[in-house]
Structure 1
Amino acid sequence: MRAIQAARAGGPDVLEVVDLPAPSPGPGEVLVDVAVAGVNFIDTYRRSGVYTQPFPHVPGVEGAGVVSALGADVTEVAVGDRVAWFDAHGSYAEQVVVPADRTLAVPDDVDLPTAAALALQGLTAHYLATSSFDLAPGRTALVHAGAGGVGLLLTQLAVARGAHVMTTVSSEAKAELSRTAGASEVLRYDLLDDLATELPALVRSALPEGVDVVYDGVGRTTFDASLASLAVRGTLVLFGGSSGQVPPFDLQRLNTGGSLFVTRPTLAHHVRTRGELLERSDELFRLAGVGALRAHVGLTLPLAEAAAAHTALEGRRTTGKVLLEVTPGAAS
């Protein structure tokens, strides 16, 4: 099978198309013919060596496709089922082995690119809006990177739950996308000289008390502004670090800021059982199927152009979801 392989740690140029033996599913696993693979920041961290990963390796953990073979003792799915996944290593390939109990059943009214776009980022947005902070009518939220894959989905879910949403973006084109997703105010942080002071001032000019929750997947460059934008007893949900990890800080700042809360969640702890996984994914696919949740795919490239996809993602030149098309024309 064709696959993308990173032979060593480095930049996008280390990604090469190779021919590898097709994998075989073991007990409790299924083999999937990949239609589309999702591209995520975690793939770039592993490729560059920021996250520990053996080399050579096939990047990617997310995608959607059709089950082509079953391992022993598989009862969750059957050959021919359309599935998506978010935690199967080696997804930049024509075939991948996925644990059967981690597959997401894709309904007939959701196409495979949409399913792939909702797998990792949709599940993340869902737990952020429901579990990290229970958004409800009257709540106020600030979402950083509002035109990113998680940002657009989180904004839609938050607005659907009755929350008032502000977002930050880095261009007018991204601002328009964020408004379309339902943001009431969109702030251009690229126009600010001092993010830590100017951004909270903009937030409080619209909401004088500050916001109930800030969703921050950017990390180092936005953390101080996020804390300063919170209302008394507000919550900062730090779910990523695309600009770098937040350094240690004095916990006394939470006291002086208004008895604030900070949490650093991860998806794995919010889909610990198959029941919880399917509860979240079924709701996402139901909303997508009736048009109440739109997965914005900003860039789709052929599998062989994985390096270009990484370059675009790391250069902040993308909006929404980035996908690699593995099977040409596989949209059903």
Structure 2
Amino acid sequence: MTETARTVMFHQAGGPEVMEIEDRPLGDPGPGEVRIRHRACGLNFIDVYQRSGLYPMALPHPLGMEAAGVIEAVGEGVTHLRPGDRAAYAAMPPGAYTEARVMPAAQICPLPDAIGYDQAAAMMLKGMTVEYLFHRTTPLKRGDTVLFHAAAGGVGLIACQWARSEGITLIGTAGTDEKCRLALEHGATHCINYRTGDFVARVRELTGGKGVDAVMDSVGKDTFDGSLDCLKPLGMMISFGNASGPVPPFNLAVLGQKGSLKITRPTLFTHIAEHDACQAMAQHLFRKVLDGDVSIRIDQRFPLDQVVKAHRTLEARATTGSTVLEL
């Protein structure tokens, strides 16, 4: 009898209700692949973008981009993992919302014993995102100032701690006073409630009118124009998400008018496409956690069969820290 794994699938783009749990067959790994048995998997806004159709996918398709568990079998040519190894990943193709899967091995990383499965599932995509934002996107050094939107989310709380550990001033934004306090507790130098104040005016005030060296913006449409106005001349706009919707087309000449600004739209999956780079980024993240510079806060936990509720909670911006599906 063929072994199966309970897997979250969607057959059409739409709201959370389009997700269904199905029993999907498990096979043996081929060359360059492994079979991994998950213990926990993480939720991210990219999952929402894929499910909603913002990022179109061939359907039907499984969901989920990060998880942690135990390697059950390895295919020919896989040398960095063995059966029984603890492992974690953020990787393409989607399909992490499952009990077990066969997948490419290159972006799966050996997991240190001191990091729990739930921690790892909550931090791989978010933590490696912070790693490339601070180290692989634009030169940042001790004493620089960055503006980070959604500072109390899963990526944001890691970014607050990362900035503090490297002597970078982080000005965060969040939608409630409670979330602002959370960001400050995790290392933000300042945090602005964007619902009760003008974040552009406040950033200018906090920087003595100079503006920030870089903006890290995963919100998208609602914050994009204001983010540009927060930058100092030659500053870098890093637009790495679309939580409020995609950024509308705009005139590139605006960048010149506002001070010869620079702009980039990076993704994690470009940065981790090469095996060696992915493993190095994961090791950097693991060191931050093991050294105590970064702690992973998991504020929401849902069993796999409550994935619809988990997505609704995420989309309502009713979460703080990270969210995991437990298996």
Aligned match for 2:104, one of 99, 108, 112: 99
**2:13 corresponds to:** 9
Are 2:180 and 1:183 equivalent residues in the alignment? no
What pairs with 1:282-297 in structure 2 (closer than 5 Å)? 282-297=283-298
| Matches of 1:183 and 1:111, distance apart in 2 | 25
Q: 1:170 to 1:23 in 2, by over 3 A?
A: farther
**1:207 corresponds to:** 207
**1:25 corresponds to:** 29
Letter in 2 for 1:257: K
Are 2:78 and 1:77 equivalent residues in the alignment? no
Are 2:157 and 1:156 equivalent residues in the alignment? no
SS at match of 1:20: strand
| Matches of 1:89 and 1:216, distance apart in 2 | 23
What pairs with 1:125-274 in structure 2 (closer than 5 Å)? 125-192=130-197, 198-208=198-208, 209-274=210-275
Pairwise CA distance, 1:272: 3.3
Q: Which stretch of the first structure deviates more once superposed, 50-59 or 123-132?
A: 50-59
Pairwise CA distance, 1:262: 0.9
Letter in 2 for 1:5: M
Q: What TM-score results when the alignment is normalised by the length of structure 2?
A: 0.95
**2:319 corresponds to:** 318
**Following TM superposition, where does structure 1 have runs of at least 4 consecutive aligned residues deviating by more than 6 angstroms?**
none
What pairs with 1:32-111 in structure 2 (closer than 5 Å)? 32-87=36-91, 88-111=93-116
**2:127 corresponds to:** 122
Letter in 2 for 1:227: L
| Matches of 1:141 and 1:58, distance apart in 2 | 36
**1:303 corresponds to:** 304
SS at match of 1:126: helix
Pairwise CA distance, 1:50: 2.2
- 1:23–1:95 CA contact under 8 A, matched in 2: no
SS at match of 1:201: helix
Deviations 1:84-135 (A, max 9, x none): 1111421111101231211111111111111112211111100001111232
Pairwise CA distance, 1:149: 1.2
Unaligned runs of 5+ in 1: 193-197, 327-332
Deviations 1:160-191 (A, max 9, x none): 11111100000122112100111111100011
| Matches of 2:32 and 2:124, distance apart in 1 | 20
**1:330 corresponds to:** none
Aligned-residue sequence identity (percent) comes to 40
SS at match of 1:101: coil
| Matches of 2:148 and 2:313, distance apart in 1 | 22
SS at match of 2:136: helix
Pairwise CA distance, 1:62: 1.0
Q: How many residues align?
A: 321
Q: What TM-score results when the alignment is normalised by the length of structure 1?
A: 0.93
| Matches of 1:240 and 1:89, distance apart in 2 | 17
Q: Which stretch of the first structure deviates more once superposed, 269-278 or 317-326?
A: 269-278
Unaligned runs of 5+ in 2: none
SS at match of 1:236: strand
Pairwise CA distance, 1:20: 2.0
Pairwise CA distance, 1:73: 2.2
SS at match of 2:319: coil
Pairwise CA distance, 1:259: 1.5
Deviations 1:193-218 (A, max 9, x none): xxxxx321111111121111111111
